[in-house]
Chain A
Protein backbone atom coordinates (compact mmCIF):
# COMPACT_ATOMS: atom_id res chain seq x y z
CA UNK A 1 0.00 0.00 0.00
CA UNK A 2 2.90 2.25 0.70
CA UNK A 3 4.00 1.73 -2.88
CA UNK A 4 0.68 2.83 -4.19
CA UNK A 5 0.86 5.97 -2.17
CA UNK A 6 4.26 6.79 -3.53
CA UNK A 7 3.32 6.17 -7.13
CA UNK A 8 0.49 8.64 -6.70
CA UNK A 9 2.90 11.08 -5.27
CA UNK A 10 5.12 10.94 -8.29
CA UNK A 11 2.20 11.30 -10.65
CA UNK A 12 0.78 14.21 -8.78
CA UNK A 13 4.13 15.94 -8.74
CA UNK A 14 5.05 18.50 -6.16
CA UNK A 15 3.47 21.52 -7.69
CA UNK A 16 0.08 22.08 -6.13
CA UNK A 17 -0.88 24.96 -8.36
CA UNK A 18 -2.25 23.00 -11.27
CA UNK A 19 -4.91 21.19 -9.35
CA UNK A 20 -8.55 21.99 -9.25
CA UNK A 21 -8.81 21.83 -5.51
CA UNK A 22 -12.03 22.92 -4.01
CA UNK A 23 -10.06 24.58 -1.28
CA UNK A 24 -7.18 26.00 -3.23
CA UNK A 25 -6.77 29.74 -3.35
CA UNK A 26 -4.01 30.43 -5.78
CA UNK A 27 -4.73 34.13 -5.64
CA UNK A 28 -3.40 34.56 -2.17
CA UNK A 29 -1.16 31.61 -1.73
CA UNK A 30 2.53 31.88 -1.27
CA UNK A 31 4.08 35.22 -1.95
CA UNK A 32 7.75 35.74 -1.71
CA UNK A 33 7.86 39.39 -2.51
CA UNK A 34 6.18 42.06 -0.54
CA UNK A 35 3.00 43.54 -1.84
CA UNK A 36 0.50 45.65 -0.06
CA UNK A 37 -2.50 43.72 -1.18
CA UNK A 38 -4.26 42.70 1.93
CA UNK A 39 -7.62 42.19 0.37
CA UNK A 40 -6.91 38.80 -1.11
CA UNK A 41 -8.33 36.87 1.74
CA UNK A 42 -11.65 35.96 0.23
CA UNK A 43 -12.82 32.43 -0.18
CA UNK A 44 -13.73 33.12 -3.77
CA UNK A 45 -11.76 34.75 -6.47
CA UNK A 46 -14.43 37.28 -7.40
CA UNK A 47 -13.56 39.42 -4.42
CA UNK A 48 -10.08 39.97 -5.74
CA UNK A 49 -8.20 42.88 -7.05
CA UNK A 50 -10.76 45.23 -8.46
CA UNK A 51 -10.46 47.92 -5.84
CA UNK A 52 -7.44 50.09 -5.46
CA UNK A 53 -4.35 48.54 -4.02
CA UNK A 54 -1.99 49.91 -1.44
CA UNK A 55 -4.92 50.49 0.74
CA UNK A 56 -6.72 49.26 3.77
CA UNK A 57 -8.42 45.93 3.88
CA UNK A 58 -12.15 46.38 3.33
CA UNK A 59 -13.10 43.75 5.87
CA UNK A 60 -15.17 45.38 8.62
CA UNK A 61 -13.30 45.55 11.88
CA UNK A 62 -14.63 43.34 14.61
CA UNK A 63 -12.90 44.19 17.86
CA UNK A 64 -12.01 41.57 20.40
CA UNK A 65 -14.30 41.49 23.43
CA UNK A 66 -12.92 43.75 26.14
CA UNK A 67 -13.18 40.93 28.68
CA UNK A 68 -10.40 39.05 26.88
CA UNK A 69 -7.19 39.02 28.91
CA UNK A 70 -4.82 37.82 26.23
CA UNK A 71 -4.31 35.80 23.12
CA UNK A 72 -2.73 32.45 22.34
CA UNK A 73 -1.83 31.11 18.94
CA UNK A 74 -1.80 27.91 16.96
CA UNK A 75 -0.08 27.52 13.62
CA UNK A 76 -1.80 25.89 10.68
CA UNK A 77 0.91 24.71 8.32
CA UNK A 78 1.16 22.88 5.07
CA UNK A 79 1.85 23.33 1.39
CA UNK A 80 0.07 25.71 -0.89
CA UNK A 81 -3.44 24.59 -1.80
CA UNK A 82 -3.80 22.14 1.07
CA UNK A 83 -6.68 24.08 2.59
CA UNK A 84 -5.07 26.12 5.37
CA UNK A 85 -7.09 29.25 4.71
CA UNK A 86 -10.22 27.22 4.20
CA UNK A 87 -9.83 25.60 7.60
CA UNK A 88 -8.99 28.89 9.26
CA UNK A 89 -12.02 30.53 7.63
CA UNK A 90 -14.26 27.68 8.68
CA UNK A 91 -13.48 28.04 12.36
CA UNK A 92 -12.71 31.76 12.56
CA UNK A 93 -15.19 34.28 13.92
CA UNK A 94 -13.72 36.92 11.60
CA UNK A 95 -13.22 36.67 7.89
CA UNK A 96 -9.64 35.47 7.47
CA UNK A 97 -7.20 38.30 7.06
CA UNK A 98 -3.94 38.28 5.22
CA UNK A 99 -0.68 39.85 6.17
CA UNK A 100 2.92 38.78 6.04
CA UNK A 101 5.68 37.63 8.29
CA UNK A 102 9.18 38.86 7.72
CA UNK A 103 12.53 37.40 8.45
CA UNK A 104 13.87 38.43 11.78
CA UNK A 105 17.48 39.21 10.96
CA UNK A 106 18.46 42.71 11.94
CA UNK A 107 17.89 45.06 9.07
CA UNK A 108 16.75 42.33 6.76
CA UNK A 109 14.17 44.57 5.17
CA UNK A 110 16.20 47.71 5.22
CA UNK A 111 19.71 47.46 3.98
CA UNK A 112 18.74 47.23 0.39
CA UNK A 113 21.88 48.97 -0.72
CA UNK A 114 24.06 46.63 1.25
CA UNK A 115 22.07 43.46 1.11
CA UNK A 116 20.27 42.48 -2.03
CA UNK A 117 16.78 41.09 -2.22
CA UNK A 118 17.91 37.75 -0.91
CA UNK A 119 17.19 38.84 2.64
CA UNK A 120 13.82 40.39 1.98
CA UNK A 121 11.81 37.20 1.78
CA UNK A 122 8.47 37.45 3.43
CA UNK A 123 5.80 34.87 4.01
CA UNK A 124 2.14 35.35 3.31
CA UNK A 125 0.26 34.83 6.48
CA UNK A 126 -3.45 34.20 6.60
CA UNK A 127 -5.04 34.22 9.97
CA UNK A 128 -8.29 33.95 11.84
CA UNK A 129 -9.52 34.26 15.38
CA UNK A 130 -11.71 32.40 17.86
CA UNK A 131 -12.81 33.84 21.20
CA UNK A 132 -12.87 31.11 23.80
CA UNK A 133 -14.91 31.50 26.93
CA UNK A 134 -14.90 35.29 26.83
CA UNK A 135 -11.45 35.63 28.39
CA UNK A 136 -9.11 34.16 25.84
CA UNK A 137 -8.66 34.62 22.14
CA UNK A 138 -7.05 32.01 19.95
CA UNK A 139 -5.36 33.12 16.74
CA UNK A 140 -4.77 30.65 13.95
CA UNK A 141 -1.87 31.58 11.71
CA UNK A 142 -1.66 29.76 8.39
CA UNK A 143 1.69 29.72 6.72
CA UNK A 144 3.26 27.80 3.85
CA UNK A 145 5.86 25.18 4.51
CA UNK A 146 8.48 25.56 1.83
CA UNK A 147 12.07 25.42 2.92
CA UNK A 148 12.79 29.00 1.92
CA UNK A 149 10.24 30.29 4.43
CA UNK A 150 11.85 28.68 7.44
CA UNK A 151 13.46 31.84 8.86
CA UNK A 152 10.11 33.57 9.07
CA UNK A 153 8.70 30.63 10.96
CA UNK A 154 10.94 31.10 13.94
CA UNK A 155 9.25 34.24 15.24
CA UNK A 156 5.87 32.89 14.41
CA UNK A 157 6.45 29.61 16.19
CA UNK A 158 7.76 31.22 19.35
CA UNK A 159 5.18 30.83 22.08
CA UNK A 160 2.73 28.93 19.90
CA UNK A 161 0.68 26.30 21.69
CA UNK A 162 1.33 23.94 18.82
CA UNK A 163 0.62 23.41 15.17
CA UNK A 164 -1.82 21.59 12.98
CA UNK A 165 -0.08 20.19 9.91
CA UNK A 166 -2.48 19.85 7.01
CA UNK A 167 -1.85 17.09 4.52
CA UNK A 168 -3.28 16.29 1.11
CA UNK A 169 -2.95 12.56 0.44
CA UNK A 170 -2.72 13.20 -3.29
CA UNK A 171 0.60 14.91 -2.69
CA UNK A 172 2.08 13.81 0.60
CA UNK A 173 5.56 14.87 -0.37
CA UNK A 174 4.47 18.52 -0.46
CA UNK A 175 3.89 18.33 3.30
CA UNK A 176 7.33 17.05 4.19
CA UNK A 177 8.94 20.48 4.52
CA UNK A 178 6.28 21.81 6.86
CA UNK A 179 6.40 18.76 9.11
CA UNK A 180 10.20 18.86 9.06
CA UNK A 181 10.20 22.51 10.15
CA UNK A 182 7.90 21.75 13.08
CA UNK A 183 10.25 19.00 14.19
CA UNK A 184 13.31 21.22 13.77
CA UNK A 185 11.71 24.06 15.74
CA UNK A 186 10.41 21.65 18.38
CA UNK A 187 6.82 22.75 17.91
CA UNK A 188 4.39 20.04 19.05
CA UNK A 189 1.92 19.19 16.32
CA UNK A 190 -0.76 16.88 15.08
CA UNK A 191 -1.52 15.97 11.50
CA UNK A 192 -4.87 16.48 9.82
CA UNK A 193 -5.52 14.96 6.44
CA UNK A 194 -7.76 17.31 4.51
CA UNK A 195 -9.98 14.89 2.65
CA UNK A 196 -10.61 16.00 -0.91
CA UNK A 197 -13.43 14.40 -2.90
CA UNK A 198 -11.03 12.60 -5.20
CA UNK A 199 -8.59 11.54 -2.49
CA UNK A 200 -8.22 7.80 -2.43
CA UNK A 201 -8.59 6.18 0.95
CA UNK A 202 -5.35 5.20 2.62
CA UNK A 203 -4.88 3.24 5.76
CA UNK A 204 -3.61 5.14 8.75
CA UNK A 205 -0.53 2.94 8.86
CA UNK A 206 0.35 3.76 5.28
CA UNK A 207 -0.02 7.48 5.89
CA UNK A 208 2.00 7.32 9.07
CA UNK A 209 4.86 5.53 7.44
CA UNK A 210 4.75 7.73 4.34
CA UNK A 211 4.90 10.85 6.54
CA UNK A 212 7.36 9.22 8.95
CA UNK A 213 5.28 10.19 11.99
CA UNK A 214 6.14 9.27 15.54
CA UNK A 215 3.65 6.85 17.11
CA UNK A 216 2.27 9.46 19.51
CA UNK A 217 1.62 12.10 16.85
CA UNK A 218 -2.13 12.22 16.26
CA UNK A 219 -3.39 11.76 12.73
CA UNK A 220 -6.97 12.73 11.94
CA UNK A 221 -9.02 13.01 8.78
CA UNK A 222 -10.92 16.24 8.38
CA UNK A 223 -12.87 18.28 5.88
CA UNK A 224 -11.54 21.81 6.09
CA UNK A 225 -14.83 23.13 4.68
CA UNK A 226 -16.81 21.80 7.62
CA UNK A 227 -16.90 23.64 10.89
CA UNK A 228 -17.34 20.68 13.17
CA UNK A 229 -14.69 18.63 11.40
CA UNK A 230 -12.18 21.48 11.52
CA UNK A 231 -12.84 22.21 15.18
CA UNK A 232 -12.37 18.48 15.87
CA UNK A 233 -8.98 18.63 14.19
CA UNK A 234 -7.97 21.48 16.51
CA UNK A 235 -9.33 19.55 19.48
CA UNK A 236 -7.18 16.58 18.52
CA UNK A 237 -4.15 18.84 18.59
CA UNK A 238 -4.94 20.46 21.93
CA UNK A 239 -5.78 17.08 23.50
CA UNK A 240 -2.43 15.83 22.30
CA UNK A 241 -0.67 18.85 23.81
CA UNK A 242 -2.37 18.21 27.14
CA UNK A 243 -1.45 14.52 27.06
CA UNK A 244 2.16 15.27 26.28
CA UNK A 245 2.33 17.71 29.17
CA UNK A 246 0.56 15.41 31.59
CA UNK A 247 2.88 12.54 30.75
CA UNK A 248 5.93 14.74 31.17
CA UNK A 249 5.00 15.92 34.67
Chain B
Protein backbone atom coordinates (compact mmCIF):
# COMPACT_ATOMS: atom_id res chain seq x y z
CA UNK B 1 0.00 0.00 0.00
CA UNK B 2 3.01 2.31 -0.05
CA UNK B 3 2.93 5.06 -2.60
CA UNK B 4 5.68 5.14 -5.23
CA UNK B 5 9.06 6.12 -3.95
CA UNK B 6 8.03 5.70 -0.41
CA UNK B 7 10.25 3.62 1.77
CA UNK B 8 9.10 0.05 2.00
CA UNK B 9 9.39 -1.65 5.32
CA UNK B 10 10.44 -5.21 5.87
CA UNK B 11 6.83 -6.29 5.88
CA UNK B 12 6.97 -6.04 2.12
CA UNK B 13 9.54 -8.83 2.06
CA UNK B 14 8.09 -12.29 1.88
CA UNK B 15 8.48 -14.20 5.15
CA UNK B 16 10.45 -17.02 3.57
CA UNK B 17 13.01 -14.53 2.29
CA UNK B 18 13.60 -13.02 5.69
CA UNK B 19 13.88 -16.38 7.39
CA UNK B 20 15.56 -18.20 4.50
CA UNK B 21 12.62 -20.52 4.15
CA UNK B 22 12.21 -21.43 7.77
CA UNK B 23 9.03 -19.60 8.76
CA UNK B 24 6.54 -22.25 9.71
CA UNK B 25 9.19 -24.96 9.58
CA UNK B 26 8.95 -28.04 11.69
CA UNK B 27 11.37 -26.69 14.27
CA UNK B 28 9.45 -26.18 17.49
CA UNK B 29 8.17 -22.65 17.32
CA UNK B 30 8.96 -20.34 20.18
CA UNK B 31 5.69 -20.06 22.12
CA UNK B 32 4.04 -16.67 21.66
CA UNK B 33 4.02 -16.00 25.39
CA UNK B 34 7.77 -16.55 25.77
CA UNK B 35 9.31 -13.44 27.29
CA UNK B 36 12.39 -12.14 25.53
CA UNK B 37 14.91 -9.40 26.15
CA UNK B 38 18.12 -8.26 24.49
CA UNK B 39 21.21 -9.54 26.27
CA UNK B 40 23.12 -6.39 25.40
CA UNK B 41 25.78 -8.17 23.35
CA UNK B 42 26.67 -6.40 20.11
CA UNK B 43 25.21 -7.88 16.93
CA UNK B 44 27.67 -8.68 14.16
CA UNK B 45 27.46 -6.04 11.42
CA UNK B 46 26.61 -8.48 8.63
CA UNK B 47 23.27 -9.61 10.10
CA UNK B 48 20.08 -8.89 8.20
CA UNK B 49 18.42 -5.66 9.32
CA UNK B 50 15.40 -7.59 10.58
CA UNK B 51 17.52 -9.13 13.31
CA UNK B 52 18.79 -5.75 14.39
CA UNK B 53 15.29 -4.33 14.42
CA UNK B 54 14.13 -7.05 16.77
CA UNK B 55 17.16 -6.81 19.03
CA UNK B 56 16.82 -3.03 19.21
CA UNK B 57 13.17 -3.38 20.06
CA UNK B 58 13.76 -5.83 22.89
CA UNK B 59 15.44 -3.37 25.23
CA UNK B 60 12.99 -4.50 27.89
CA UNK B 61 11.09 -7.68 28.53
CA UNK B 62 8.32 -8.47 26.02
CA UNK B 63 6.46 -11.52 24.79
CA UNK B 64 7.10 -12.91 21.32
CA UNK B 65 3.51 -11.96 20.46
CA UNK B 66 4.12 -8.34 21.44
CA UNK B 67 7.34 -8.13 19.44
CA UNK B 68 5.51 -9.45 16.37
CA UNK B 69 2.52 -7.15 16.83
CA UNK B 70 4.57 -4.02 17.44
CA UNK B 71 6.92 -4.68 14.55
CA UNK B 72 4.08 -5.59 12.22
CA UNK B 73 5.69 -8.91 11.32
CA UNK B 74 3.99 -12.29 11.18
CA UNK B 75 4.73 -14.24 14.37
CA UNK B 76 6.01 -17.13 12.25
CA UNK B 77 8.84 -14.86 11.08
CA UNK B 78 9.56 -13.29 14.44
CA UNK B 79 9.63 -16.71 16.08
CA UNK B 80 12.38 -17.90 13.74
CA UNK B 81 14.46 -14.72 13.99
CA UNK B 82 14.17 -14.63 17.77
CA UNK B 83 15.18 -18.28 18.00
CA UNK B 84 18.33 -17.46 16.03
CA UNK B 85 19.07 -14.47 18.24
CA UNK B 86 18.62 -16.67 21.31
CA UNK B 87 20.98 -19.30 19.84
CA UNK B 88 23.58 -16.61 19.21
CA UNK B 89 23.24 -15.14 22.69
CA UNK B 90 21.83 -11.78 21.67
CA UNK B 91 18.43 -12.41 23.20
CA UNK B 92 17.64 -14.01 26.54
CA UNK B 93 14.33 -15.84 26.87
CA UNK B 94 12.20 -16.63 29.88
CA UNK B 95 10.21 -19.69 28.88
CA UNK B 96 6.48 -19.71 29.51
CA UNK B 97 5.00 -21.19 32.63
CA UNK B 98 2.79 -23.85 31.20
CA UNK B 99 0.29 -26.33 32.40
CA UNK B 100 1.47 -29.63 31.05
CA UNK B 101 -0.05 -32.55 32.89
CA UNK B 102 -2.28 -30.78 35.36
CA UNK B 103 -0.32 -31.90 38.36
CA UNK B 104 0.44 -30.43 41.76
CA UNK B 105 3.01 -28.00 40.45
CA UNK B 106 0.26 -26.49 38.36
CA UNK B 107 -1.80 -25.89 41.46
CA UNK B 108 0.73 -23.41 42.84
CA UNK B 109 0.72 -21.56 39.56
CA UNK B 110 -3.06 -21.45 39.41
CA UNK B 111 -3.28 -20.17 42.98
CA UNK B 112 -0.85 -17.40 42.12
CA UNK B 113 -2.97 -16.49 39.12
CA UNK B 114 -6.12 -16.54 41.24
CA UNK B 115 -4.56 -14.36 43.95
CA UNK B 116 -3.29 -11.97 41.31
CA UNK B 117 -6.69 -11.68 39.66
CA UNK B 118 -8.47 -11.20 42.96
CA UNK B 119 -6.15 -8.34 43.77
CA UNK B 120 -7.35 -6.64 40.55
CA UNK B 121 -10.95 -6.45 41.73
Contact = CB atoms under 8 A, between A and B. Distances in A.
Contact of A102 (B76, B98, B120): B76
B95 A70 contact: yes
Interface string B44-64: 000000000000010111110
B97 to A, nearest CB: 4
Given A72-B98, A160-B99, A56 B117 contact: no
B94 A70 contact: yes
Given A102-B74, A136-B116, A248 B63 contact: no
B24 A139 contact: no
Given A71-B97, A136-B97, A156-B32, A110 B117 contact: no
Nearest to A58: B70
Contacts of A106: 24-26
Nearest to B76: A102
A141 interface: yes
Given A38-B72, A71-B63, A52 B1 contact: yes
Interface in B26-54: 26, 29, 31-35
Nearest to A131: B116
A38 B74 CA distance: 10
A133 B119 contact: yes
B113 A63 contact: no
Interface residues of A, number: 76
A156 B29 CA distance: 11
Interface string B87-121: 00000001111111011101101111111111111
A137 B60 CA distance: 14
B120 A99 contact: no
Interface string A43-77: 00000000011111101010111101111110000
Nearest to B59: A63
A110 B113 contact: no
A138 interface: yes
A57 B70 contact: yes
Interface in B1-43: 1-2, 6, 8-9, 11-12, 15-16, 21, 23-26, 29, 31-35
Contact of B76 (A54, A91, A109, A132): A109
B116 A130 contact: yes
Contacts of B117: 130, 132, 138, 231, 234-235, 238
A66 B60 contact: yes
Given A109-B76, A242-B114, A64 B60 contact: yes
Contact of A99 (B23, B68, B99): B68
Contacts of B16: 109-110
Contacts of A53: 1-2
Contacts of A244: 102
21 contacts: A53-B1, A54-B8, A56-B72, A61-B62, A63-B60, A73-B96, A99-B75, A102-B75, A107-B24, A109-B23, A130-B117, A133-B115, A135-B112, A136-B113, A138-B117, A161-B99, A161-B109, A188-B102, A227-B120, A228-B121, A249-B103
- In the A-B complex, the 4 residue pairs with the smallest Cβ-Cβ separation, listed nearest first, are A132-B116, A63-B60, A159-B98, A97-B69
Interface of B: 1-2, 6, 8-9, 11-12, 15-16, 21, 23-26, 29, 31-35, 57, 59-63, 65-66, 68-76, 94-100, 102-104, 106-107, 109-121
Given A61-B57, A71-B96, 5 more contacts: A64-B35, A70-B96, A235-B118, A235-B121, A245-B104
